[in-house]
Each structure stands twice: as structure tokens, then as C-alpha cells.
């Protein structure tokens, strides 16, 4: 019996006759030999069709199959030192499963990103996109392993919510039967606070939505976020958890995705420097630093993308910026007792201009203060009744954060735009495919 195998397992089958399913990536010919580059999702392999080894029909077919034809190839696995994977396939039989009905629109030439994004469902087949998706997979796996290995319980937060978490300006409304309007979740945080009161350490991991009108390379309208929440952690402990977490993710990618990072031409030296401890700087000190660097930043304003980049350039690893002004941050952050103009929060800024990858804080645990923040921001009080309950029944010091998957993947891969860090991106102008 000839085993059906994947390219990734080819080394186990040296000398054996095997069957492979895949798609034709490219081909070339030199008279008596046709070389087919076949891709099977786990790798690329060169399949050599020698005139003397196959029927005339197969030999003719091998010189005419178009790109992206789905194929089944049968042949003998041969060691070949010139091959990037060390092996090639000596073809005996070739069965075309389905020939494309027209020319593949993404042939082997340069295309503009706008066109490629329209063809995203096909573009995913390119080596670069495959590699990015694999790094993303490893980032997501590392996220789960980190929390699962540290005593956290995964709690899935709802997508339909009655209220905002990160400001009312970026809510997507959905009609919701007789109950009026629901909103797509911006963050599972409020629910994780309830979960942390039940389980101590909880996290959610799923898609979140922001009706962001921004067209920057860092914004999607739908993105994936992981959000841990920890009972009894204060802001300091929250920042320690973040640096352990992010250095764990980066180390995992370096350990398991070196070939992919090489394929992306990612300089891995800056990633190798992502070691504990990460530098910390208060917002107020950051404003002074930015001013000394020539920025027109003033105290009280949120850091914009340019300021984040300039600030992060001063450090060789991710930097934790803490204690922002209350007025630029969400209502649920704990007032800083040492300076009530500020809150006990932090952002983590990635190096190399990738900007904010984490936002987190210690939460306001005082019932009256929280209620007055809700009122001051003009939020609908009744929608937060359940959230206020958490401060009525055994309120507690607690903190948590959210890490955006696409920004993290972009940074680790060294790709300029978050839209390539997710299979099917959603932005202001993009709902297709
Ligand atoms: O800073 P944010 O808005 O924080 C929260 O939502 C908190 N409630 C999280 C928490 O404490 N549980 O978002 C967290 C992270 C950002 O640092 C960024 O990485 C990512 O989510 N993010 C986005 N990623 C892509 N597109 C967008 N529009 C994003 N908005 C936020
Ligand atoms: Mg933020």
C-alpha cells in the first residue's frame, strides 16, 4: 500500500512510493523533464516528471496544467541536497482533480495591495500569507498555554452586550427584538471582573468590535483580544503579569517559528531582546521626555500614534507607560490615590513603531467613585447596574488588561499593517470577502 502523506512528513518516507494531494504552484520544463512545484498546505515540494517514467498523456499534462490546479501525485521520495526541504518526488502518476476554469488572478507577478485585499480569499495561498497565519496560530496557542499554565480559567464573554466598555463613540449597534438595541462587544472586561470574583483568575479570548473611523495601519473594526482579570492584583502586579506574558509569547515564536520569520525577512534581534524586566515610565514623565525630544505633546492629551512611536524608540524592548490622565481613559479605571488627576492604568507600547499592544488597569473598586464616573461620563446608569453590584457585594482590589492579537502578530512578523495579521480583515472600507 502506498501511503498518502503530507509534505511536512516527507523525511519519514525516503525511498518509498507515496501519494500527495496539493495544488500546482509553479512549473518549468527542460525537454525530457517537467518540474512541478506542488503546495499542499504543509509545504512546497518539487515533483519531477521524467518522460521515461510516465505515460505520454501524463507527460503532456505535466507541461500544460495551469497554476492552482488541484492534483494528486504519486511518486518515489528522493533525497536531494539542492532542495530547500531536502527531498523531491520522482513522479509515476499524476491525476488532475480540478483544472481552474480561468487563469488564476494572482499569477507570479507583482500586484498592488488593494487588488490583493480584494482577492484575499485567494491571496491566503501565497507563501507570505501562509507564514503570517502560522505565526498568528503560534501566538494564539502561546496565549492559551500561558494562562492555562498559570491557574487561569477561560470564561467566554458575550458578543451582544447592553453597554459600552471603551467609550460610546465606537459602538456597533444591532437591533435586538423587543429589547431595543444591543451592541457588539468592545471588550469582555466587565464580564471578566464578575468572573474573577467567582474564579480568582479568569480570561476571555475572542473577537471584539470597534466602530473605529480611523484609517491607520493599527486599526480594525473587528479584532481579537485576550483579556485576563486577576483578583487581588494591583496595577504593579498587573504590569508584571503583562511583561511575563509578552516575553513568553515572543520566546515561543522564536522557538517555533524561526523559518517563518526568516521567510518574512524579520530581523529577530529586536525580538531576542524582549526580556524581563520591561522599562516603565509614568505618563507625566513620558510627556516631559517627549517634549525634550521636540514633540508638542502637552499633559492631559492622549498619546497619539506618532508620540507612541517616538517614545517607544527610546527603549530597546516594550515599554509600560502608566498613570494616564483620568479624562483620556475609560470610566472603570481606579483613581490614583497619589494623584487623583490620574488613574492606575498602563499601556504597553511595542518597539519599532508598532504602538500600543496592551491596555490595562487596576479597576475602580469603590462603589461611589465608580457611580460618579458613570454619571460624569453620561453613561446609561441602568445598563451598569449589574456591574455596580460587583462593588456592592465583596468589592476587591483587582486588575486586568487586554492584548490585541493583530497588533502583536504584526509586530512579531515585522509587517507594517494589521490587515495582513488576520485572515479576513474588517476595516472601515472593507467587508469583502
Ligand atoms: O486599550 P483597549 O481599548 O483596552 C480595553 O479594551 C480594555 N477593556 C482591556 C482590558 O483591560 N480588559 O484595547 C486593548 C488592546 C489595544 O492595546 C490594542 O492592542 C487592541 O486591543 N486594539 C485594537 N486592535 C486593532 N484594532 C483596533 N481598533 C483596536 N483597538 C484596540
Ligand atoms: Mg487602549
pLDDT tens, position by position, 163-216? 877 778 899 999 999 999 999 999 999 999 999 999 999 999 999 999 988 888
Residue of 359, 363, 422 to mutate, ligand 1, most atoms within 8 A of C-beta: 359
Alpha-carbon torsion 313, 319, 324, 327, what sign?
positive
Residue identifier of the C-alpha nearest atom 21 of ligand 1: 404
Which ligand has its closest atom nearest to the C-alpha of 428?
A: 1
Whether the CB of 401 sits within 6 Å of ligand 1 = yes
Residue identifier of the C-alpha nearest atom 31 of ligand 1: 404
Q: Where are the beta strands (DSSP E) in 100-200?
A: 153-154, 160-161, 173-175, 181-184
Whether the CB of 210 sits within 6 Å of ligand 1 = yes
Instruction: Kindly report, residue by residue over 346-367, the tens digit of the pLDDT.
Output: 999 999 999 999 999 999 999 9
Residues in a beta bridge with 281: 321
- Cα-Cα end-to-end distance for the chain: 41
Cβ count within 10 A of residue 20: 22
- Report how far ligand 1's centroid is from the alpha carbon of 403 (Å): 6
Whether the CB of 359 sits within 6 Å of ligand 1 = yes
Residue 400: which H helix or E strand, with range? strand 398-404
Which ligand has its closest atom nearest to the C-alpha of 203?
A: 1
C-alpha cell belonging to residue 369: 467613585
In tens digits, the chain (433 residues) has pLDDT values of 899 999 999 999 999 999 999 999 999 999 899 999 999 999 999 999 999 999 999 999 999 999 999 999 999 999 999 999 999 999 999 999 999 999 999 988 999 999 999 999 999 999 999 999 999 999 999 999 999 999 999 999 999 999 877 778 899 999 999 999 999 999 999 999 999 999 999 999 999 999 988 888 999 999 999 999 999 999 999 999 999 999 999 999 999 999 999 999 999 999 999 999 999 999 999 999 999 999 999 999 999 999 999 999 999 999 999 999 999 999 999 999 999 999 999 999 999 999 999 999 999 999 999 999 999 999 989 899 999 999 999 999 999 999 999 999 999 999 999 999 999 999 998 999 9
Please tell me the predicted confidence (pLDDT) of residue 313. 96
Residue appearing with cell numbers 445598563: 383
Nearest one of 21, 89, 84, 23 to 50, comparing CA atoms: 89
Whether the CB of 404 sits within 6 Å of ligand 1 = yes
Whether the CB of 187 sits within 6 Å of ligand 1 = yes
- Report how far ligand 2's centroid is from the alpha carbon of 355 (Å): 10
| Nearest atom of ligand 1 to the alpha carbon of 170 | 28
Q: Can you tell me the distance from the alpha carbon of 305 to that of 311, in angstroms, rounded to the nearest whole number?
A: 10
Cβ count within 10 A of residue 108: 8
Q: Can you tell me the distance from the alpha carbon of 188 to that of 174, in angstroms, rounded to the nearest whole number?
A: 17
pTM of the model: 0.96
| Nearest atom of ligand 1 to the alpha carbon of 356 | 17
Please tell me the predicted confidence (pLDDT) of residue 163. 81
Whether the CB of 357 sits within 6 Å of ligand 1 = yes
Whether the CB of 212 sits within 6 Å of ligand 1 = yes
Average pLDDT along the chain = 96
Residue identifier of the C-alpha nearest atom 2 of ligand 1: 359
Amino acid at each position: 500500500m502506498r501511503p498518502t502523506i503530507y509534505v511536512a512528513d516527507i523525511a519519514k518516507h525516503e525511498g518509498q512510493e507515496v501519494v500527495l494531494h496539493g495544488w500546482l504552484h509553479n512549473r518549468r520544463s527542460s525537454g525530457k523533464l517537467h518540474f512541478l512545484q506542488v503546495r499542499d498546505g504543509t509545504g512546497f515540494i518539487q515533483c519531477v516528471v521524467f518522460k521515461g517514467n510516465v505515460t505520454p498523456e501524463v507527460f503532456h499534462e505535466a507541461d500544460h496544467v495551469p497554476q492552482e490546479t488541484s492534483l494528486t501525485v504519486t511518486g518515489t521520495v528522493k533525497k536531494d541536497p539542492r532542495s530547500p526541504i531536502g527531498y523531491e518526488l520522482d513522479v509515476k502518476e499524476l491525476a488532475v482533480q480540478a483544472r481552474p476554469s480561468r487563469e488564476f488572478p494572482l499569477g507570479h507577478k507583482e500586484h498592488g495591495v488593494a487588488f490583493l485585499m480584494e482577492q484575499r480569499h485567494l491571496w491566503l495561498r501565497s507563501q507570505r500569507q501562509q507564514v503570517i497565519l502560522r505565526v498568528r496560530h503560534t501566538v494564539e496557542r502561546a496565549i492559551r498555554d500561558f494562562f492555562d499554565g498559570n491557574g487561569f480559567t477561560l470564561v467566554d464573554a458575550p458578543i451582544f452586550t447592553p453597554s459600552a466598555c471603551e467609550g460610546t463613540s465606537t459602538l456597533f449597534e444591532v437591533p435586538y427584538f423587543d429589547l431595543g438595541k444591543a451592541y457588539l462587544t468592545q471588550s469582555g472586561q466587565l464580564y471578566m471582573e464578575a468572573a474573577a470574583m467567582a474564579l480568582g483568575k479568569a480570561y476571555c479570548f475572542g473577537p471584539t468590535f470597534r466602530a473605529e473611523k480611523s484609517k491607520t495601519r493599527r486599526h480594525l473594526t473587528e479584532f481579537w483580544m485576550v483579556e485576563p482579570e486577576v483578583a487581588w492584583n494591583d496595577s504593579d502586579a498587573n504590569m508584571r503579569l503583562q511583561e511575563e506574558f509578552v516575553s513568553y509569547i515572543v520566546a515561543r515564536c522564536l522557538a517555533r517559528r524561526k523559518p517563518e520569520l526568516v521567510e518574512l525577512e524579520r530581523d529577530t534581534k529586536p525580538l531576542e531582546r524582549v526580556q524581563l524586566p520591561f522599562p516603565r515610565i509614568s505618563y507625566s514623565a513620558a510627556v516631559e521626555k517627549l517634549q525634550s525630544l521636540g514633540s508638542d505633546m502637552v499633559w492631559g492629551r492622549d498619546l497619539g500614534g506618532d508620540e507612541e512611536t517616538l517614545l517607544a524608540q527610546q527603549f530597546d524592548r516594550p515599554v509600560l507607560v502608566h498613570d494616564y490622565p483620568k479624562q483620556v481613559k475609560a470610566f472603570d479605571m481606579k483613581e490614583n490615590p497619589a494623584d487623583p488627576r490620574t488613574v492606575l492604568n498602563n499601556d504597553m507600547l511595542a518597539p519599532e513603531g508598532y504602538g500600543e499592544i496592551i491596555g490595562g488597569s487596576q479597576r475602580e473598586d469603590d462603589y461611589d467613585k465608580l457611580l460618579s464616573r458613570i454619571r460624569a461620563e453620561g453613561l446609561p446608569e441602568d445598563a451598569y447596574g449589574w456591574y455596580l453590584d460587583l462593588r456592592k457585594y465583596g468589592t476587591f482590589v483587582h486588575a486586568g488588561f487586554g492584548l490585541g492579537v493583530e497588533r502583536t502578530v504584526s509586530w512579531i512578523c515585522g509587517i507594517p499593517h494589521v490587515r495582513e495579521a488576520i485572515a479576513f480583515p474588517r476595516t472601515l472600507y472593507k467587508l469583502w470577502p
